[in-house]
Structure 1
């Protein structure tokens, strides 16, 4: 038995390696720079953790995802493996102390973000560590053509000069051929051994359905497949709404989004992991590091931003090798919504410059000053002060963060949480007796539909605007309602922290990075176009469309996607179906859903048959949308 397999069995309790893991480990152990493209669920972390354990010294792991770093460190510590993560929020003197611990404390893994390498002080300490392997996770971030480009990743190549004999291992779950080549170039990898696992998932059925009633189709899917499922949505409100609607239909469901506390996240995730609920409704905050093998169905009810993210999220189904479903439900309005959500909110150079100048003015930073200054920052207050759109401003600040111009902690939940703790009829009675307070209460109720069931994070400027008042009046009323035991109200001091990493230079600062902004915007537009092509193309197998996007070619259809099933489906006899519908309507009026259930035909076939019967004046539609025979 090889030493690598012994370590895998001892610490991870796995009997064998997955496909290509052993080969990647052998490449790294032989000192080769290695690029591994392994789709979601392929077991990327094992590829650097096992050789890191086999070699003397410390494995340096560079990752942009704080949550994933923490998760991997915790998992290693559970296995009695010494690991440490230098995440944001740790002061410089503490970081240096932790790095000393790495040197003298027999640590095996050091995780840090690429931004940490921009500190000469930290880089000097790392140079003195006995590094045995440098692993770059989410390596597509190195490339400006990747879907999550971070310029700080470009600094990783500097480590080559300090550790010329140490192998680099670049890992990613999704990269086109162009991105792959760019990563190898930007990291300075030499004589690179490339491992690329096919993106094909033979057990996965990719389904795209255009539907009028998404909730009804979800209900059908979950009843047909009662195993663990994930439903991905775009925002926090949808998490709660869809979860509540599913519960009212009799399904056991919970939800997960970035606004929940750590305790709530863990509780809801465990309910789903332990199969006390069938469904978890989640934003894309859910999924990193989640390894549940028997997920049967992943449903997206809004268009994804790009196919890279969609492939990763859909790929959380069927990791046990059994047949699984990746379902994308669309409606005609989705395209307009996606363009508004992903493209219209992208900042151009003009907006970025204006926002940056106003940001400096907001904190009274003079031209040529401001480096290393730190402030408490509230995004809503800033946007309200300058009448900036919140999403576009956030995207602009995120871009500046990625460029290293500022550092912005991701703490954008509002400062106030509220939940009504009396029944709605009592709230209505209170408003009728206190009419001056009615506009504010109504604004809250109309903005946060689930506020009776769970606490809502209140956007104070928004509520003040909707009720035509000011924030102080809103806060005073909330305090009054709390005293009367009408609401549970808590104010939290959780503004974001903003650090300026450079001196203020206005246009000179923005001009330096504007080419990256243009590339980013063009890339995002092209990526959304690829998503629309995936949805709208009715002439190609869905699995083939995904493989083609990632540079793989195949001449055979998958046979199980929505396109292939439609092609293989026997043609419906429209006349026979129409006669069947007429026979049903002789008994009682029925709506289209009831007709579909009774005839077991597809929605499209039912709609076509009903249109034919209407055109021939054989049936009519009643005001309640039921069809009946024409008398």
Structure 2
């Protein structure tokens, strides 16, 4: 048995590697630069975690996804593997201490966002670490032709000069041929070994349905396939609304979006992971690091922004290799609505200049100042004050964030203000009678010495870490102490935190990224065009369409997508279908769903036949939305 397999079995309890994992590990272990394109569910993290554990030293992991970094660090620590992540909000002095710990504390993994490489002093500190492997996750971010370009990724290549003998491992789940070539060039990979798993998923049926009533279709799908499901929607309101309607219809459903606090996210996720809820309705905030093997169905209720994201989200179905379904539901107005959402919100240089100046004035940042300053920021208030359209403004902020000009982080955490009201003697008596509460109370007192004198802002996450207790347990205790009048306690939700990464230079700031803005807008138009083609074309296999988008060709159709199934179904001649509908309506009035069900024809064919019969005035629609024969 290889040493790599022993590590896999010891820590991750898998008995064998997934396709290409072992080959990638061997390439990295031989010191070669490596590019790995493993679609969703291919097990990218194992490709750098196993070789890192087989060698002395530290694996540096560069990733743009804070949530994923935290998740992987937590999982590694659970396995007694020392790992840390230097995410946003950590001050320079804390960063120095953490990097010292990393050097002398026998750590195996250091997770870092590429933006950190823009600080020369961090680069200097990294040079002193025994780095044995540099893993670049979400490597498509380095390419302007990738679907999530981040200029900070262009800085990664500088590590080649500092670590010339350390292998680079570039990992991504989706990249077109153009993006793939750009990744290897921009990262400076030297004679890289290239591993690419096929995008083909033999067990995944891609289905596109045009329907009048999406909720009804969802209910039909969930009844037919009662296994775990994910429903993706575009906004938080739809998230809660659809989950509520499914609950009312008798389904066990929960929801997940970026606006929930950490406790709600954890609770709702657990319901679904533990199969206590059949379906989780989610925005695209859901999915990073999720590896639930028995997901039967992934349903998209609205059109996706691009096929890269759609492929990753749809690919969360069927990881147990059982047949699964990736369903996209459309209605006639969806195309125009999606175009309005994805394309009409794109900024031009003029809008970006105006927005940036107004933002700096709003926050009272003088010209030539502002770098590393942080501000509590409310997007709705800002848009109302200056008359900016909300969606377009948010998209502009996302662009400025990705360009590294500023960082807009959604906090949604609770800001706790706390003061103890009883004497230390009474508090000592309370803790002796309630020993389970003592550790948290003493930790608060030690961390915030002035908490007796004045209301004090407390960091709940820090106390949770110190006491090794979950945040919800600490919150529950604070509520209890407040009810007993032991403390005064206030909690206020923050909106978001805005950090300026550069000094204010107005037009000069925006001019530096104007070409990238132009390239991004061009790419987004091309990507959206591909989505519309995927949905509307009815002349080829859906699976093959996706494969060709990612540069693959297959000799045959998949046989299980909506196109392939429709092709197999015997088609009724329109005149025969019309006669069949008239025969059915002689017995009773029917709505369009009932007609489709009884004729066993496709939605499009049924609607076409009904429209012809209406046009010929052989049937008409009753006030209760049923069709009846004209007398």
* The two structures share one fold, judged by TM-score above 0.5: yes
Alignment match, 1:157: 157
The answer to whether residue 304 in structure 2 is matched with residue 286 in structure 1 is no
TM alignment of 1:138-177, pairs within 5 A: 138-177=138-177
Q: Is the contact made by 1:259 and 1:413 (CA closer than 8 Å) also made in structure 2?
A: no
Do the aligned partners of residues 495 and 622 (structure 1) sit closer, same or farther apart at CA in structure 2, a change above 3 Å counting?
closer
* In structure 2, distance between residues paired with 1:375 and 1:95: 21
Structure 2 residue matching 1:329: 3-state secondary structure? strand
Alignment match, 2:115: 115
The answer to whether residue 549 in structure 2 is matched with residue 527 in structure 1 is no
Q: How big is the shift at 1:614?
A: 4.1
Q: Is the contact made by 1:8 and 1:14 (CA closer than 8 Å) also made in structure 2?
A: yes
Q: How big is the shift at 1:525?
A: 1.1
Structure 2 residue matching 1:394: 3-state secondary structure? helix
* In structure 1, distance between residues paired with 2:574 and 2:509: 66
Q: How big is the shift at 1:121?
A: 1.5
Q: Is the contact made by 2:261 and 2:413 (CA closer than 8 Å) also made in structure 1?
A: no
Q: How big is the shift at 1:408?
A: 2.5
Do the aligned partners of residues 578 and 108 (structure 1) sit closer, same or farther apart at CA in structure 2, a change above 3 Å counting?
same
Q: How big is the shift at 1:620?
A: 3.3
TM alignment of 1:424-435, pairs within 5 A: none
Q: How big is the shift at 1:53?
A: 0.2
Q: TM-score, normalised by structure 1?
A: 0.85
Do the aligned partners of residues 608 and 346 (structure 1) sit closer, same or farther apart at CA in structure 2, a change above 3 Å counting?
closer
TM alignment of 1:77-116, pairs within 5 A: 77-116=77-116
* In structure 1, distance between residues paired with 2:501 and 2:252: 47
Alignment match, 2:443: none
Alignment match, 1:9: 9
Alignment match, 2:188: 188
Alignment match, 1:213: 213
- Bigger Cα displacement from structure 2, 168-177 vs 585-594: 585-594
Deviations 1:582-612 (A, max 9, x none): 4433333222222333343332333344345
Structure 2 residue matching 1:207: 3-state secondary structure? strand
Q: Is the contact made by 1:35 and 1:169 (CA closer than 8 Å) also made in structure 2?
A: yes
* In structure 1, distance between residues paired with 2:414 and 2:90: 23
Alignment match, 1:35: 35
* In structure 1, distance between residues paired with 2:362 and 2:315: 44
* In structure 1, distance between residues paired with 2:84 and 2:149: 25
Do the aligned partners of residues 355 and 616 (structure 1) sit closer, same or farther apart at CA in structure 2, a change above 3 Å counting?
closer
Alignment match, 2:56: 56
Q: How big is the shift at 1:375?
A: 2.4
* In structure 2, distance between residues paired with 1:338 and 1:508: 33
Do the aligned partners of residues 610 and 513 (structure 1) sit closer, same or farther apart at CA in structure 2, a change above 3 Å counting?
closer
Structure 2 residue matching 1:84: 3-state secondary structure? strand
Alignment match, 2:587: 587
TM alignment of 1:93-492, pairs within 5 A: 93-411=93-411, 492=492
Q: How big is the shift at 1:405?
A: 1.9
Alignment match, 1:451: none
Do the aligned partners of residues 320 and 368 (structure 1) sit closer, same or farther apart at CA in structure 2, a change above 3 Å counting?
same
Alignment match, 1:605: 605
Deviations 1:441-462 (A, max 9, x none): xxxxxxxxxxxxxxxxxxxxxx
Do the aligned partners of residues 378 and 565 (structure 1) sit closer, same or farther apart at CA in structure 2, a change above 3 Å counting?
same
How many residue pairs match? The answer is 557
Structure 2 residue matching 1:171: 3-state secondary structure? strand
Deviations 1:39-65 (A, max 9, x none): 000000000000000010000000000
Structure 1 residue matching 2:410: 3-state secondary structure? coil
* In structure 2, distance between residues paired with 1:620 and 1:367: 69
* In structure 2, distance between residues paired with 1:606 and 1:370: 62
Structure 1 residue matching 2:171: 3-state secondary structure? strand
* In structure 2, distance between residues paired with 1:303 and 1:397: 23
- Bigger Cα displacement from structure 2, 229-238 vs 608-617: 608-617
Q: How big is the shift at 1:503?
A: 2.2
Do the aligned partners of residues 75 and 588 (structure 1) sit closer, same or farther apart at CA in structure 2, a change above 3 Å counting?
same
Structure 2 residue matching 1:492: 3-state secondary structure? strand
TM alignment of 1:493-504, pairs within 5 A: 493-504=493-504
Structure 2 residue matching 1:116: 3-state secondary structure? helix
Q: Is the contact made by 1:379 and 1:412 (CA closer than 8 Å) also made in structure 2?
A: no
Deviations 1:386-425 (A, max 9, x none): 111122222222222222222322337999xxxxxxxxxx
Do the aligned partners of residues 21 and 510 (structure 1) sit closer, same or farther apart at CA in structure 2, a change above 3 Å counting?
same
Q: How big is the shift at 1:96?
A: 1.0
- Bigger Cα displacement from structure 2, 609-618 vs 538-547: 609-618
Alignment match, 2:487: none
Q: Is the contact made by 2:117 and 2:156 (CA closer than 8 Å) also made in structure 1?
A: yes
Q: How big is the shift at 1:496?
A: 2.5
* In structure 1, distance between residues paired with 2:521 and 2:12: 42
* In structure 1, distance between residues paired with 2:146 and 2:569: 39
Q: Is the contact made by 1:231 and 1:279 (CA closer than 8 Å) also made in structure 2?
A: yes
- Bigger Cα displacement from structure 2, 164-173 vs 268-277: 268-277
* In structure 1, distance between residues paired with 2:591 and 2:502: 64
Alignment match, 1:46: 46
Deviations 1:226-284 (A, max 9, x none): 11111100000001111111112221111110011111111111111111111111000
Alignment match, 1:555: 555
Q: TM-score, normalised by structure 2?
A: 0.85
Deviations 1:176-196 (A, max 9, x none): 111111111111110111000
- Bigger Cα displacement from structure 2, 599-608 vs 499-508: 599-608
Q: How big is the shift at 1:349?
A: 0.3
Deviations 1:127-178 (A, max 9, x none): 1000000000000001111111111111111110000000000000000111
Alignment match, 2:508: 508
* In structure 1, distance between residues paired with 2:324 and 2:594: 28
* In structure 1, distance between residues paired with 2:263 and 2:102: 30
Structure 1 residue matching 2:199: 3-state secondary structure? coil
Structure 1 residue matching 2:93: 3-state secondary structure? helix
Structure 2 residue matching 1:409: 3-state secondary structure? strand
